């Protein structure tokens, strides 16, 4: 007794396999791999300064995960919750800080995990403290502030000198 598969069933199986491969490939391109176990953690920020889904999560410059989702906190505070996932084999010690920083000159944002020496570890689903590194514009402003103050003082001195010269003549 031979088992025959109709051409309609063959077509259905091919469409199903194609859809599964398409969904898997699309998620793989997004950085989501179903076969690699990951731990998810949460961070609450007041602002994310351009951090986006699928941004890198780094430890000492090495990519260990990526941002999965960003959404507003439900209590209408305006705070943002960032969910990121890292490889399951890596455990985060307590008091680890998730700092948003510019990963390149173009302003692409990423999260840098600043590890501590704590023996206790976070479990998946825990909320980790977060901070934001100042952007390039803010860093330049901080370094230029003393120069700006000196230039203003110089302008005042020149103005006083001009007034004194005007009074002489």
Percent of the chain with pLDDT strictly greater than 70: 91
Q: Which of 13-17, 56-60, 67-71, 83-87 has the highest mean pLDDT?
A: 13-17
Measure the CA–CA gap between 110 and 135, rounded to whole angstroms.
12
C-alpha of 147 from chain center: 32
What's the CA angle centered on 97, arms 94 and 99, to 5 degrees?
A: 165
- Reported as a single tens digit per residue, the pLDDT across 19-32 is 999 988 887 777 66
Give the per-residue pLDDT at 9.
87
Query: For the chain, what is the mean pLDDT?
Result: 84
Measure the CA–CA gap between 130 and 165, rounded to whole angstroms.
57
Give the per-residue pLDDT at 11.
92
* Mean pLDDT across 35-64: 86
- Reported as a single tens digit per residue, the pLDDT across 132-157 is 876 556 666 667 778 888 888 889 89
For residues 149 and 33, which has the higher predicted lDDT (pLDDT)?
149
In this structure, are residues 54 and 111 in contact, taking their beta carbons and an 8 Å threshold?
no
- Reported as a single tens digit per residue, the pLDDT across 67-106 is 988 888 888 788 899 999 988 888 888 889 999 888 877 7
What's the CA angle centered on 97, arms 92 and 102, to 5 degrees?
A: 115
Measure the CA–CA gap between 36 and 53, rounded to whole angstroms.
19
Global pTM? 0.64
């Amino acid at each position: 007794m031979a088992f025959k598969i109709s051409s309609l069933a063959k077509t259905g199986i091919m469409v199903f396999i194609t859809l599964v491969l398409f969904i898997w490939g699309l998620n793989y391109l997004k950085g989501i791999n179903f076969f690699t176990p990951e731990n998810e953690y949460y961070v609450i920020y007041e602002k994310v300064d351009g951090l986006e889904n699928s941004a890198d999560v780094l430890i000492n410059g090495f990519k260990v995960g990526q941002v999965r989702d960003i959404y507003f906190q439900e209590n209408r505070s305006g705070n943002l919750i960032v969910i990121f996932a890292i490889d399951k084999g890596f455990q985060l010690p307590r008091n680890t800080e998730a700092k948003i920083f510019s990963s390149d000159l173009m302003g692409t944002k990423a999260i840098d995990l600043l590890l501590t020496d704590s023996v206790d570890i976070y479990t998946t689903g825990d909320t980790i403290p977060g901070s934001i590194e100042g952007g390039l514009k803010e860093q330049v402003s901080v370094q230029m502030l003393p120069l700006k103050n000196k230039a203003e003082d110089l302008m005042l001195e020149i103005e006083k000198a001009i007034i004194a010269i005007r009074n002489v003549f």
